[in-house]
Every structure is written in C-alpha cells, then in structure tokens.
C-alpha cells in the first residue's frame, strides 16, 4: 500500500498538495493537480481511512444495534439503514445484542473506541444512566431509551387498539394477547393498546395475556398454555409477526382451525407472514421507512449535534390476510 508521501515524492510536490488534490480543498494549480492525479492512478493510491479518522476524530461509520438479527424485521431495517448510510458515504456496522444489557454496553464501548460517528439502537435494556456519558450521536428506534435521545417509533398503542378492535369487529368474543418483553417500550405500548380495548370486558382477566418475548419459540409455548387454560379464546393479538406465526403453529397443533376457530393478528408486516397458510393478518409497520428515517435523522444529527431532540412517529397500517375471519 502506498502512502500519501509516496505520491508526493513521485509527483515532486508536498504531502499538503496531494491532500488538497484528494480532498479538492484549497488552491492547486491545474497542471499540478493533473500530475498528482496521474501518480495516484499509477500507484493505485488509496488514502488510509484510519489515519484520516484519527485526525478527524470521526470514522465515517454508523452502527445499528439490534436485539435479534434472526427476526426478519431487523434485516429489513438493517437494509434500510445501510442504504441510507452508504448514500452518505458511511460504512455500516451491524451488531447483534441478544437483548442483553451486557452485550449492549460492550458494543457501546467498542464502537466509541472506534470513533463510530453515530448509532441507531433498538434496546429494551438501556436506560438514561447507561447512555448519559456518551456523546456519540444516537437514535433510539422502536423502543425509547431516554428523553435525551432522538426516537423513531410507530403509533404502537393506537395500532394495537386497531388490531384488537378489528378482531372484535370480525366477531371475536374472547381475545388473548401474546405480548413482548416486559421492558420494551414498544411492547408495553402494544399491551396498553390491547388493554385499552379489553380491560372492561366482562370476560377479561390477566390470564389472557402471556409473554412470548418477541420470539417464535416462546410464543409457541405461550400460546399453547393460554389456549389450554382458556379454550374459549377465539381471537389472538400477537405483539409481533414472528410470535403470530408461533401462535399459528401452536393453534394448529392443538387442533384449532385458523381462522374459523381462532383469528390471529400480528404486528410488524414482515415477509414471513405471507408464507404461512393461512397468511398472517397484521398491523404492518413501514419497516424500510422506519430504518431510512432513523438513518437520515442520525446523519442529520451527526452533522449538527445541537439540533433539538425530536421524536418521530410513523404510522402502522392494517393488512388483512387469511388468519382472521372474514365477517
């Protein structure tokens, strides 16, 4: 690998001039510029980003921290963030935290040491104190972390209400909820939305709520238990699609016919919901848009850290498929 000094020597100029050519800054005589460019091509010179980062204190990298890369929601999100990042010349780093606070903190540290310019974080575990000493621009996504941090979400509570009302409208009499992790704000909001609608129903009790931890397996087990305890359930609102699929499989195993015996509605709008039979009715999030919005916000903040904290809420949209009754 040749360095800027090699180029300078070969072109009989100083490193400053080469730097000016590369960065198109300051004055460089057109003749000189051409000569330098020729040498750069000759030597196949590529500036060393690490050296650049060291001086600038910035690395042209952004990171996305997600709790579960195996949930198709996050690859879709990652895709969006990466697209925007590379549009602005940033390298994208994806980190999987398993929703474990320890891993999150470890990443936060590692990334800061690498002078990462910004991060987008989906975390249920981090709180204000954990991030208060971090000056790197951050965006919280899906789940709130602190009031000091920009946030991108969807109308979770409202969407959940819509989902549950939709089930009722389709004739469901007893509606259970497979909720997400207790401390995720998105999960809490969806639970709240569910409660808003059902808490005054005569049949309602806490047994109609079980946690599936936003995961397939846990939801599968939770659904089996819930349906066994409450065989009268004829509607199920899962806080995400992955759990809705788990619920579907559980219902199937118990001999329920979906949607005739049991209507299931999910949340997220991931692709897998179309693959099942019946396909999953869902409150779809504009996943790509969420990721892209967060990424744009992050880059805006990187460029100007003084702008006021903002919260942006996108809207979910009902997609009716086969897992809910027709009438």
Find the shortest distance in angstroms from Cβ 16 to DNA: 3
76: which 2 tokens? 């879709």
* Partners of 211 in beta bridges: 179
* Backbone angles phi and psi of 281, in degrees to 5: -70, 140
Find the shortest distance in angstroms from Cβ 220 to a copy of itself: 10
Q: How far is CA 200 from the centre of its chain?
A: 33
- 23 is an interface residue for a copy of itself by CB under 8 A: no
Site residues (CB under 8 A) for a copy of itself, limited to 156-195: none
The listed partner (a copy of itself, DNA, none) that binds 27, CB under 5 to 8 Å by sort, is: DNA
**In this structure, what is the dihedral angle of CA atoms 69, 189, 137, 115, given to the nearest 10 degrees?**
-30
Is-contact 94 78, C-beta < 8 A?
Answer: yes
Find the shortest distance in angstroms from Cβ 57 to DNA: 6
User: What distance in Å separates the CA atoms of residue 211 and residue 245, rounded to the nearest whole number?
Assistant: 14
Residues 215-254, mask of contacts with a copy of itself (x by CB under 8 A): -x----------------------------x---x--x--
- 112 is an interface residue for a copy of itself by CB under 8 A: yes
Q: Is the peptide bond before 278 cis (omega within 30 degrees of 0)?
A: yes
**What separation in angstroms does the CA of 126 have from each of 106, 144, 155, 304?**
12, 9, 21, 24
* Partners of 266 in beta bridges: 282
Find the shortest distance in angstroms from Cβ 55 to DNA: 4
Choose, by CB under 8 A, the member of 24, 113, 205, 327 that binds a copy of itself.
113
Choose, by CB under 8 A, the member of 26, 171, 207, 271 that binds a copy of itself.
271
- 3 is an interface residue for a copy of itself by CB under 8 A: no
* Backbone angles phi and psi of 224, in degrees to 5: -55, -45
Choose, by CB under 8 A, the member of 11, 40, 65, 93 that binds a copy of itself.
93
- Burial profile 55-85: b = 16 or more Cβ within 10 angstroms, e = fewer: eeeebbbbbbbbbbbebbbbbbbbebbbebb
The listed partner (a copy of itself, DNA, none) that binds 200, CB under 5 to 8 Å by sort, is: none
* Residue 327 three-state SS: coil
- 1 is an interface residue for DNA by CB under 7 A: yes
- 100 is an interface residue for a copy of itself by CB under 8 A: no
- CB-wise, 196 or 252, nearer to a copy of itself? 252
- CB-wise, 165 or 322, nearer to a copy of itself? 322
How many residues are listed for the chain in this entry?
327
Choose, by CB under 7 A, the member of 42, 48, 109, 228 that binds DNA.
48
- 303 is an interface residue for DNA by CB under 7 A: no
- 30 is an interface residue for DNA by CB under 7 A: yes
User: What distance in Å separates the CA atoms of residue 249 and residue 271, rounded to the nearest whole number?
Assistant: 17
**What separation in angstroms does the CA of 170 have from each of 202, 221, 264, 321?**
19, 26, 11, 13
Summarize as ranges the residues that interact with DNA (CB under 7 A): 1, 3-5, 12-17, 19-20, 22-23, 25-33, 45, 47-48, 51-52, 54-57
Summarize as ranges the residues that interact with a copy of itself (CB under 8 A): 44, 46-51, 53-54, 59, 61, 69-70, 72, 74-76, 78-79, 82, 91-96, 109-115, 133, 216, 245, 249, 252, 271-272, 274-277
């Amino acid at each position: 690998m040749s360095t800027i000094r090699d180029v300078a020597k070969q072109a009989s100029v100083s490193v400053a001039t080469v730097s000016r050519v590369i960065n198109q800054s300051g004055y460089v005589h057109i003749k000189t510029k051409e000569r330098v460019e020729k040498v750069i091509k000759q030597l196949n010179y590529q500036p060393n980003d690490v050296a650049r980062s060291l001086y600038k204190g910035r690395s042209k990298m952004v990171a996305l921290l997600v709790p579960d890369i195996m949930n198709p929601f996050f690859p879709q999100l990652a895709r969006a963030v990466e697209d925007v990042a590379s549009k602005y010349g940033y390298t994208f780093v994806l980190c999987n935290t398993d929703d474990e606070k320890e891993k999150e903190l470890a990443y936060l540290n590692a990334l800061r040491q690498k002078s990462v310019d910004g991060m987008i974080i989906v975390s249920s575990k981090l709180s204000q104190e954990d991030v208060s000493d971090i000056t790197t621009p951050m965006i919280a996504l899906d789940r709130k972390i602190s009031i000091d941090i920009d946030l991108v979400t969807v109308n979770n509570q409202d969407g959940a209400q819509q989902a549950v009302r939709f089930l009722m409208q389709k004739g469901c009499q007893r509606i259970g909820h497979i909720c997400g992790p207790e401390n995720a704000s998105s999960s809490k909001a969806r639970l709240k939305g569910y409660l808003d609608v059902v808490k005054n129903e005569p049949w309602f009790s806490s047994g109609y709520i079980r946690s599936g931890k936003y995961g397939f397996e846990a939801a599968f087990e939770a659904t089996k238990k819930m349906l066994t305890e409450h065989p009268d359930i004829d509607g199920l609102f899962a806080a995400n699609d992955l759990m809705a699929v788990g619920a579907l499989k559980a219902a199937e195993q118990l001999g329920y016919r979906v949607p005739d015996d049991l209507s299931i509605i999910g949340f997220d709008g991931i692709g897998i919901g179309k693959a099942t039979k019946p396909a999953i009715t869902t409150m779809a999030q504009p996943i790509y848009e969420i990721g892209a919005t967060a990424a744009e916000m992050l880059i805006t903040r990187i460029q100007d850290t003084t702008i006021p904290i903002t919260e942006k809420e996108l809207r979910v949209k009902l997609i009716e498929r086969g897992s809910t009754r027709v009438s």
